[in-house]
Amino acid sequence: MIDIIGTLMTTRLQDFCRSHEPWLLDLIDALVAIESPTDDKAAVDRCGATLAGRLEQMGGRVTRVASQTSGDHLVARFGAGARQVLLLGHFDTVWPIGQLARMPIRREGDRLHGPGVLDMKAGIALGMLATRAVLELTPPEDASIVMLWTTDEETGSHTSRALIETEAAASTAVLVLEPALAGGALKTSRKGCGQYELVVHGVSAHAGVDPRKGVNAIREVAHQVLAVDAIRDLERGISVNVGLVSGGSRPNVVPDYAAATVDVRAATMADADEVDRSMRALRAVTPGAKLEVSGGFNRPPMERSGGVARLFGLARDVAAELGFVLGEGGTGGGSDGNFTSALGIPTLDGLGALGDGAHALHEHIELGALVSRAALIAGLVARLSRAAA
Ligand SMILES: [Zn+2]
């Protein structure tokens, strides 16, 4: 059924976004121009100060949630209604200070390059323009729009996770403004991610004089690398990667220490539990060697639940009103959307900018897709802020 009023509103939201595109570009530029590597609190807070200022200019009530070990997180509230729609993202990046000089903000045809522009400063700016459009044209009476912009997503969200879960639990839906999949598709599922550390203690000995007295920890880790590899099941979406191995001191010493770090991913909660059980069931095979396994899943899988499917249906309707077909897909990468969806809160991810090269030197966004993306987010927020949504 064609919703005439909905279509009209979506068109007006898009017109607003189009006429305010210069504001959007200026905001993206301002955010990318202030480098914000996760591990540099002072730098991230500088970016946060600019972002907070812009949020206040929009009429947001901004709270800085102080963190000792990362930049301060920002919460901005618009409207006072009880029902809450959460826009979620992060303004830390993987790029060190000085990267901007090596890959400056530059426009090349339809592309805007710069460190952190795709992942995910443009996404934040899109969410802000969309919110401006909604507040201006169809201000929600009984709902509020809340933005949570965090500072440690790239290192696992250790200081922001509780805040993310608190705000998500108070929300009817969570829209995550991480980069889109190729072609603009949304992310309706994400694998859960974990990391394990295997440490082997052996017995050192002179490799030439007393080889029988030694227990070679590297030999034992080699066994474990193959055992871990056997947990992999790509058909089921279980990926396991031994990404780091260390151990030993010199060739003529039987090593008494070796370690391996393992990255694991699983598509469902059940598979994540099974992987965890398999990792914890690992046992040393070399007599005299001691194996310690630590770690676990940091981000639970984001599964395509009924709530996620309904939310995507809403987004697809808005896209249709804007005249394009919206796709969906999954990804092996995790985001803060994993936390919110694991709480059972309908979550849509990948609503941010189109582009390519997150965490890579060719990182860029597609300028031609910005207005319709902002309109998509605006149309979605407008519907979610209505009681019937
Ligand atoms: Zn990101």
Q: Domains of the chain: which residue ranges? A: 4-190+301-384, 195-299
Q: If you classify domain 4-190+301-384 with CATH, what class do you get?
A: alpha beta
Cα dist. 209→252, 258, 357, 372 in Å?
10, 22, 54, 73
Q: Give all strands (DSSP E) within the chain, no chain letters.
A: 61-65, 73-78, 83-90, 106-108, 111-113, 143-150, 173-176, 186-190, 192-201, 205-206, 239-247, 253-254, 257-266, 290-299, 328-331, 347-348, 355-356, 364-366
Q: pLDDT digits over 256-274, tens only?
A: 999 999 999 999 999 999 9
State in Å: Cα 235 to ligand 1 middle. Answer: 26
Closest CA to 350 of 182, 200, 197, 226: 182
Ligand 1: centre distance to CA 336 (Å): 9
What does the pLDDT average to over 67-81? 96
Distance (Å) from CA 178 to ligand 1 centroid: 5
pLDDT, one tens digit per residue, over 90-148 is 999 999 999 999 999 999 999 999 999 999 999 999 999 999 999 999 999 889 999 99
Helix axes 4-19, 370-384, angle to 10 degrees: 130
DSSP state of 70: S
Phi, psi dihedrals of residue 40, rounded to the nearest 5° = -120, 90
Residue 1 clears pLDDT 80, i.e. is over it = no
**C-alpha 301: how far from chain center:** 12
User: Please, which residues have CB less than 5 A from ligand 1, an ion?
Assistant: 119-120, 178
Average pLDDT over residues 237-261: 97
The model's pLDDT over 294-325, given as tens digits with 9 standing for 90+, comes to 999 999 999 999 999 999 999 999 999 999 99
Tokens at 360, concatenated: 């890579």
Q: Is residue 163 a contact partner of residue 86, using CB atoms and an 8 Å limit?
A: no
Mean pLDDT confidence for 275-281: 98
**Ligand 1: centre distance to CA 283 (Å):** 36
Looking at the predicted structure, is the pLDDT value of residue 170 above 70? Answer: yes
pLDDT band for position 389 (50/70/90)?
A: very low
How far does the centroid of ligand 1 lie from the alpha carbon of residue 152, in Å?
10
pLDDT attached to residue 2:
61
199 band by pLDDT with thresholds 50, 70 and 90? very high
pLDDT value at residue 285: 98
Instruction: Give 306 Cα–ligand 1 centroid separation in angstroms.
Output: 25
Ligand 1 geometric centre to CA of 248 (Å): 36
* Ligand 1 mean position, distance from CA 90 (Å): 6
- pLDDT for 172 beyond 60: yes
The dotted CATH code for 195-299 is 3.30.70.360
In this model, does residue 5 exceed pLDDT 80? no
Q: Which residues fall within 8 angstroms of residue 226, CB to CB, at 6 or more apart?
A: none
DSSP string across 326-377? PPEEEESS--THHHHHHTT--EEB--S--EE-TTSTT-EEEGGGHHHHHHHH
CA-CA distance, 231 to 227, in Å (whole number)? 7
pLDDT of residue 8: 87
- Residues making up the chain, counted from first to last: 389
Ligand 1 centre to CA of 226 (Å) is: 32
